[in-house]
Amino acid sequence: MTKSSMVQLPLTPPTTPTAKRVIDISNSTSLGSPLKKKRLFNTQKSSSESSTFLRAKSLFQRGSQISHSSGESHLVSREKEASILNDFLIENYSKKCSNSLYISGPPGTGKTAQVSLSLDHFLKSIGSPSKSDPSIVHSHDKSQWVKIITMNCMTISNPENIFHEIYNQLDTHSITGNRKKSADDLFMLLQNKSIKFNTIVLFLDEMDYLITRDQQVLFKLFQFASTQLLTSKLILVGISNSLDFTDKFLPRLKRNRLCPQSMQFLPYNASQIRQIIMERLSTLTEDKENEQGPRHIIHPTAVQMCCVKAAAVAGDLRKAFDICYKSIELVEEECAMGKSQATVLISHVARVCNATFGDNLGQRLNKLNLLQKAILCCLVNLEKKRSLSSAENKVNQLYEHYLKHCVPKVEQLLSTVKKGEFLELVSALEASGLVSLTAGKLGGRGGNSIVPVVDTANAVIKSRVPSDMLAMVVKEIGVLKKLLYN
């Protein structure tokens, strides 16, 4: 991505002035000459197209502030997750309870964006922010004060410093502010009856960065959020890219009766990504001189290809946005040279995807998330066990093998995938070209059907990855080696 693409663009850029260009042209060409008319026409067309491209690209920039929600409280395709999060915040606030919620999921699945949207919804629901400090909210009935603290743990140089940072946000007038605050200091402050806030809502993004050898930092935070005797109730929401953070890094929680609620953001599938992209494109203003309008700057088939490719790369929405941005940029360059119409076609998306992802099998394997690699290892293991049999392996049989062979070995590290989620992961593996799904043998003709499979569960599945290459990819991951060889 070019350096200029990192700059946040306005939603409606200023119109490019054309009067000055007409004067410049008239200095070198007579007003009546055909060349003059041609150059003037191209300048106007370029200005219109430039404005359209500018607005379209702004929709898919990293960090774009354009809303991609379909309502006030949830992102497009994240209605279920938003409902759980919104209810968690409102319910614990209303009951005046301390509690914790852990949110996990791969990058680019909307975790942080949904939390931000839910926070806005929560603030509007409970009261009005202070004019002097928007992070302080006074309830509608004037009975409660709420403090909102949001932190990205990546910016904390030392995990133990998190207690000092939280303390300073709660007590900005601390006399001993020069001394580093500890977990005990923070706990005493939360118990202090003179503290102003009735409820503290703490959002910690990138929570993985608080991991220590003895796990005390995270343990203390969850412990505070489970203590109901605090003067200020603590509602903790932690976000991490780890698939099952609580089981992998905090086994002490359950032994100490600390059981935070948990929620997983699954990778986006192609249908969800398409819904989000089309919703963004619909925000473009219709062009009165063009029935199609700028919102049709990307052809529907090109959108579909983009979505399938992005879904295959761990369902990362950011990848889909990058493809859209670069494809629009490619068409913009072609239009400037008179080589293309102002529409992104499937050929443009294919060129961008080839340049971005390439066809290297090893790269595609490395980009898989842990669950996808685990399923692929299970498939190769199943094929080895049944190599002497002529029977075909169906997805349903693979799922049974996964439950019997995979789950007992990794249940402490990976959460068990339900059938529907398993089928989505298999579809993602097919989209990335790592497995093949066919409809089985056709009576009277033999061979396998190449017709797209609708019933994924009953489809015949085959690995398209050499076992030795898969072994190289997972050689440093002990649990995957167990799945592959045992």
User: How far, CA to CA in Å, does 363 sit from each of 10, 343, 434?
Assistant: 36, 30, 11
pLDDT at 47: 59
State which H helix or E strand residue 64 sits in.
none
CA atoms 383, 386, 392, 394: torsion sign: negative
| Mode of pairing for the β-strands spanning 435-438 and 460-463 | antiparallel
Q: Is the pLDDT of residue 139 over 50?
A: yes
Confidence of residue 127 (pLDDT cuts 50, 70, 90): very high
Mean pLDDT of 166-175: 82
Report how far residue 419's alpha carbon sits from residue 292's, in angstroms, rounded to the nearest whole number.
41
Are 73 and 82 a contacting pair, CB within 8 Å? Answer: yes
pLDDT for position 304: 93
Quote the percentage of the chain above a pLDDT of 90: 40
- Ordered alpha helix ranges (H), 195-285: 216-224, 245-249, 252-255, 270-281
Model pLDDT for residues 335-386, shown as the tens digit of each residue: 888 877 889 999 999 889 877 766 567 777 888 888 889 999 999 999 988 8
CB 127 within 8 A of CB 137: yes
Question: Strand order of the sheet with strand 261-264?
Answer: 127-129, 136-139, 145-152, 199-205, 233-240, 99-104, 261-264
User: Cβ atoms within 10 A of the Cβ of 342, count?
Assistant: 20
Give the pLDDT score at 285.
59
Which structural domains are found in the chain, ordered by start? 3-68+269-358 (no CATH), 79-264 (3.40.50.300), 367-485 (1.10.10.10)
The Cα–Cα gap between 164 and 179 comes to 9
In the chain, % of residues over pLDDT 70:
77
Per-residue pLDDT at 295 exceeds 90: no
Rounded to a whole number, what is the largest CA-CA distance in the chain?
88
The per-residue pLDDT for 20 is 42
Please, which pLDDT band fits residue 57 given cuts at 50, 70 and 90? very high
Is the pLDDT score of 276 beyond 90?
yes
- Is it the case that residue 253 has pLDDT exceeding 70? yes
C-alpha 9/C-alpha 139 separation (Å) is: 36
Model confidence pTM above 0.75: no
